[in-house]
Amino acid sequence: MYATDTLKWVVAGAVLAGGVAAVGAGPAAATARADDDHCSSRTGCYHGPGMRWCPGDYVWPGLRATGWDLNVCHVYHEQCPPGYYGGCPDNIVEGPPPPPPPPIFRTREECERALGFICAFAP
């Protein structure tokens, strides 16, 4: 009789301890995951259009001049003046860059009709 009662207490204690451990591990496992909201271009995990700055990344003077809330992440791109090649850290615009212009010729046949043999060298 005492052995049965003792066994019940041991099993109940194990179930209770397992339940507490499972509940405790739930939030810990959730906080151990990588936070997708703080994935930036600097860390290498952001591969979307444009660049992404997140808190903890370097704050350069051009970024500070935007007036952005530096407590949240921002997707941005550099909008260089015409004829300017290279980085434009003082001309950053929030949001992804605009899409590239459409191709002049959609097919090789269109190119050959317009330009003739010159298109033979194009890939």
Global confidence as pTM? 0.50
- What's the pLDDT score for residue 71? 92
Read off the pLDDT of each residue in 39-65 and give the average, rounded to a whole number.
83
Read off the pLDDT of each residue in 63-82 and give the average, rounded to a whole number.
86
Q: Is 47 a residue whose pLDDT tops 60?
A: yes
Residue 80 CA to residue 90 CA, distance in Å, equals 9
pLDDT tens profile 93-119: 888 888 888 888 888 888 888 887 777
- What's the pLDDT score for residue 118? 76
| Of 56, 53, 55, nearest in space to 89 by CA | 53
| Of 72, 71, 90, 73, nearest in space to 81 by CA | 90
